[in-house]
Amino acid sequence: MLARVSSTPTFKRLPRAIREQQMLDAAVRVFSRRGFHAASMDEIADDAGISKPMVYAYLGTKEELFVACLHRETARMMEAIAGAAAPDLPADQRLWRGLRAFFGFVGAHRDGWAVLYRQARGSQPFAGELAAMRARLVEVVAGMLDHALRTEGREVAATELEVVAYALVGASESLGDWLADHPDADPEKTATRMMNAAWLGAGQLLHGATWRPPTD
Amino acid sequence: MLARVSSTPTFKRLPRAIREQQMLDAAVRVFSRRGFHAASMDEIADDAGISKPMVYAYLGTKEELFVACLHRETARMMEAIAGAAAPDLPADQRLWRGLRAFFGFVGAHRDGWAVLYRQARGSQPFAGELAAMRARLVEVVAGMLDHALRTEGREVAATELEVVAYALVGASESLGDWLADHPDADPEKTATRMMNAAWLGAGQLLHGATWRPPTD
DNA sequence: GCGTAACCTTACGCGCGAGTAGGTATGCTG
DNA sequence: CAGCATACCTACTCGCGCGTAAGGTTACGC
């Protein structure tokens, strides 16, 4: 029989939509700092300021909850990037804005990123989700490169393009990961650095320069 | 009172050193296909063809076992790379050989790589180990770049170098990860592609070319 | 003001898997 | 061939954490 005279407004009954978001927020926090398996539903519920059965009622089992987190964070990130890199801009502008949006997102949602990038990787059930997102990104980047090439009259095999795109995306992810661990680092600056390496490297490649392995 | 008339030679009593290696082999396999938490000590013991208490006796608790795997695989990989990229070679040679060794290692030890790269990332206790390895790699690469620069009379801030090195390592890791999932892909070819992107991009940077963000 | 639906709780069942107790067989040393 | 160490086993304990059953309370329509 607790005296519920607490003044915190977070105590009232809240509609489902809001509670779900709170739960997802809490889940992302807990998953990111504990990892999927080490995270307990009790802790998530506690962190969300609600009891466990509510979590089950609204968002289902632990796996389903994690997938829900993945989806939300993925959607947010893709939206941020897609919104920044408008298709009608010139290639370098698109790349630059995309990178800036990406690093901005990671800087602002460090734990969301940790869930996406670090946790989802290991376990089969979720790796697919992540891979799908990455595939979309790679596709976009490859398309961007391809477009840039065609307007200059050059053409490169699709596989080749894809690998370059993959390397770019991978490098960005790694740098994003680094950013997530360095709270004092500046997302904008990181984006600039990445852009430098990417654009210059890609530019060379696109203009037909190659490095040949020695015949040792 | 089983009739142990089996003819399999894997049934004899074996010295500790050998059993430990078998256990580590099994552990790497199981960890890589299940993930750390989903892997059970029973399955590892079973896969190693021995009973659980032996695993505990020789390699300790589950965490200790995982760390042992990490150490072995890390050591093998660093050894492969260091052995290939002799310090007295010219910079592009070192980079090329290092990359080739790296992708060769990943191609040949796909599940070892999966343990290192995918599992260790998420959970705090192990992330440190991984980070340490990556830090060594980054340091080496940064040193390589720095050396290349100095012999050409140029000089770049350490932070700047480190970020470039980090991007290179990250891109390689991502491509390695891609390689691990594509058994039909050729490590050598992947290494060549990575080298192209890396060397051309780095080359540009090192010669002072930069891309400047527009003032939008 | 009363039913009914949405919100929310406490308190449990129960399986799975880490880690251990205690004992057996085999080889090596004197 | 005693004695001791090393290799090896079966069979348990026990806690943790997912998921649920069963019930209480606030709001809202009528």
3-state secondary structure chain A: CCCCCCCCHHHCCCCHHHHHHHHHHHHHHHHHHHCCCCCCHHHHHHHCCCCHHHHHHHHCCHHHHHHHHHHHHHHHHHHHHHHHCCCCCCHHHHHHHHHHHHHHHHHHCHHHHHHHHHHHHHCHHHHHHHHHHHHHHHHHHHHHHHHHHHCCCCCCCHHHHHHHHHHHHHHHHHHHHHHHHCCCCCHHHHHHHHHHHHHHHHHHHHCCCCCCCCCC
Residue B143 within any structural domain of the chain? yes
B78 and B36 within one domain: no
Q: Which of B37, B160, B178 to mutate to test the interface with A (most CBs of A within 10 A)?
A: B178
The size of the A-B interface in CB pairs under 8 A is 131
Q: What are phi and psi of A18, to 5 degrees?
A: -70, -50
The pLDDT value recorded for residue B129 is 82
The mean of the pLDDT values for chain B is: 86
Residue B81, domain CATH: 1.10.357.10
The distance from CA A210 to its chain's CA centroid, rounded to whole angstroms, is 31
The pLDDT value recorded for residue B1 is 35
The pLDDT value recorded for residue B11 is 60
Domain hosting residue A123, numbered range = 71-206
Residue B65 within any structural domain of the chain? no
- Residue of B160, B169, B201 with shortest CB distance to A204: B201
Closest-CA residue of A relative to B111 is A122
Which tokens hold the place of B59? 């390699």
- Cβ contact B113:B106 at 8 Å: yes
B91 and B155 within one domain: yes
Which tokens hold the place of B91? 């910079």
Residue B108 within any structural domain of the chain? yes
Residue A18 to chain B, least CA–CA distance (Å): 29
A170 neighbourhood in chain B, CB within 8 Å: 170-171, 173-175, 177-178
Residue B83 within any structural domain of the chain? yes
- Average of pLDDT values for B172-194? 89
A146 and A91 within one domain: yes
Residue B42, domain CATH: 1.10.10.60
- Given a cut of 50, whether residue B3 has pLDDT beyond it is no
- Average of pLDDT values for B63-72? 95
Residue B110 within any structural domain of the chain? yes
Cβ neighbours around B85 below 10 Å, total: 21
Query: Is A127 near strand C, with its CB below 7 A from some atom of it?
Result: no
Q: What is the pLDDT of residues B118-152, one digit of tens each?
A: 888 877 778 888 888 889 989 988 888 888 888 87
Residue B88 to chain A, least CA–CA distance (Å): 16
Q: What is the pLDDT of residues A185-213, one digit of tens each?
A: 999 999 998 888 888 777 776 676 777 77
ipTM of the complex: 0.85
- Cβ contact B162:B205 at 8 Å: no
- Residue of A121, A178, A201 with shortest CB distance to B166: A178
A87 and A43 within one domain: no
B123 and B52 within one domain: no
- Residue of A171, A200, A211 with shortest CB distance to B209: A200
Which tokens hold the place of B87? 């310090």
A130 and A200 within one domain: yes
- Cβ contact A41:A52 at 8 Å: yes
Domain count, chain B: 2
A119 neighbourhood in chain B, CB within 8 Å: 122
B82 and B186 within one domain: yes
Tokens 């100095």: give the residue: B150
Closest-CA residue of A relative to B39 is A123
Task: Output the CA angle A104-A107-A110, nearest 5 degrees.
Answer: 135
A109 and A41 within one domain: no
Query: Which position has the higher pLDDT, B63 or B177?
Result: B63
How far is the C-alpha of B176 from the C-alpha of B194, rounded, in Å? 10
B107 and B32 within one domain: no
How far is the C-alpha of B154 from the C-alpha of B145, rounded, in Å? 11
Residue B157 within any structural domain of the chain? yes
Residue B8 within any structural domain of the chain? no
Residues of chain A with pLDDT under 70: 1-11, 205-206, 208, 216
B164 and B119 within one domain: yes
B154 and B52 within one domain: no
Asked whether the CA dihedral A40, A43, A46, A47 is positive or negative, the reply is: negative
Q: Percent of chain B having pLDDT more than 70?
A: 92
Residue B8 to chain A, least CA–CA distance (Å): 34
DSSP state of B5: -
B84 and B26 within one domain: no
Q: Measuring from the CA of residue B51 to each C1' atom, give the nucleotide at the shortest distance.
A: D9
Residue A7 within any structural domain of the chain? no
